[in-house]
Amino acid sequence: MSNSSPVVLAMKFDGERKNSAFPDGLGARRVIDLNTDTDILEIINGARYAVLWKPKAELFKRLPDLEVIFSAGAGVDHLLQSPGLPDLPIVRFVDHTLTTRMSEWICLQCLMHLRQQRVYDGLQRKHSWQELPQPEASEITVGIMGMGVLGQDAARKLRMLGFRVNGWSRSGKQIDGIGCFDQSGLNAFLSKTDFLVGLLPLTPETKGIFNRTVFAKLKRNSELASPVFINAGRGGSQKEDDIVACLRDGTLGGVSLDVFESEPLAADSPLWDFEQAILTPHAAATSDVFALGKHVGEQISRYERGEKLQYLVDRNSGY
């Protein structure tokens, strides 16, 4: 087959930006955007590549010549749960633009909780001049669950800010300046953690992992009253009823959540109303459309030169 195969897009993103930026990143290759090219026939013959985000069930039947599936994001749970997913290589999105954004969000949340910014916001609204205790970052241990591309970058940047940092992952790691724990070390890891950061993919093993049992094991003798939970991995890994109950009874002193069990978060969720809860709408690290196009173009070029694809998903482990 020639290398002139179009790239089929079925993904989120603001239309105008996607139409200009994505093809730019891709070079000369033709793009068929299923959200805007409404005259496209049901069956798209000759399309070897597709870039997808939460694909509709019938999509794969329309792409009989598909050879490589690209995830429009770093996470692939949206694909692996997709009915009719063919047994083809899946490449996830890894790029410094996404990694950098995520680390910015994680560092921001850790600093917001360290400096008790939400409490100051409340005092400001009351015109109240009151100074709060001010521990240094070096007195706080951030424990990151998920030490992949995103977890490791966030860990290094948190270290630069002065936090003590530990990481927990399936396989143990060795990273300078970071305490590393493998799966068997979960309890020891939790007992040292003041700020728990979730950067795990959603898999059958990580579903609901952030629950009361885990929160109750966090360290609670730091200068800040209670531990903090920060999650930007996937909402399916957290039990929101437990988070609400733990915020109410002080098991958790604060949370920052970018992801939710069901998105968008229901307007009547009690999470919206906690002063000590910082919520963002799955926006911690949105894929940059130009960078995504470039990444897809590079991987297609590798594939067509007969080289190995990078960032391949392991279907057995689910990420």
Cβ atoms of residues 166 and 173 within 8 Å: no
Catalytic residue among 282, 295, 302, 305: 282
206 vs 287 by CB, closer to ligand OXD: 287
Distance between CA 206 and CA 123 in Å, rounded? 38
Distance between CA 53 and CA 74 in Å, rounded? 10
Q: How far is the CB of 39 from ligand NDP (least distance, A)?
A: 33
55 vs 73 by CB, closer to ligand OXD: 73
Q: How far is the CB of 298 from ligand OXD (least distance, A)?
A: 18
> Residue with structure tokens 């083809």?
88
Q: How far is the CB of 91 from ligand OXD (least distance, A)?
A: 13
> Which of ligand NDP, ligand OXD, none sits in contact with 144, Cβ below 5 to 8 A by type?
none
Q: How far is the CB of 192 from ligand OXD (least distance, A)?
A: 28
Q: What is the 3-state secondary structure (H, E, C) of the chain?
A: CCCCCCEEEECCCCHHHHHHHHHHHHCCCCEEECCCCCCCCCCCCCCCEEEECCCCCCHHHHCCCCCEEEECCCCCHHHHCCCCCCCCCEECCCCHHHHHHHHHHHHHHHHHHHCCHHHHHHHHHCCCCCCCCCCCHHHCEEEEECCCHHHHHHHHHHHHCCCEEEEECCCCCCECCEEEECHHHHHHHHHCCCEEEECCCCCCCCCCCECHHHHHCCCCCCCCCCCEEEECCCHHHECHHHHHHHHHHCCCCEEEECCCCCCCCCCCCHHHHCCCEEECCCCCCCCCHHHHHHHHHHHHHHHHCCCCCCCECCCCCCC
32 vs 94 by CB, closer to ligand NDP: 94
Q: Name the residue whose CB lies closest to ligand OXD.
A: 73
Q: How many residues contact ligand OXD, by CB under 6 A?
A: 4
295 among known catalytic residues: no
Convert residues 256-295 into a mask of x (bound to ligand OXD by CB under 6 A) and - (unbound).
-------------------------------x--------
Residues 61 to 80 in contact with ligand OXD, rule: CB under 6 A: 73-75
The reply on whether position 319 binds ligand NDP by CB under 6 A is yes
Q: Which of 67, 104, 139, 205 binds ligand NDP (CB under 6 A)?
A: 205
285 vs 289 by CB, closer to ligand NDP: 285
66 vs 202 by CB, closer to ligand NDP: 202
282 among known catalytic residues: yes
Residues 131 to 190 in contact with ligand NDP, rule: CB under 6 A: 146-151, 169-171, 183
Q: For binding to ligand NDP (CB under 6 A), which residues are involved?
A: 73-75, 98, 102, 146-151, 169-171, 183, 199-203, 205-206, 232-234, 258-259, 282, 284-285, 319
Q: For binding to ligand OXD (CB under 6 A), which residues are involved?
A: 73-75, 287
Q: Which residues are catalytic?
A: 234, 282
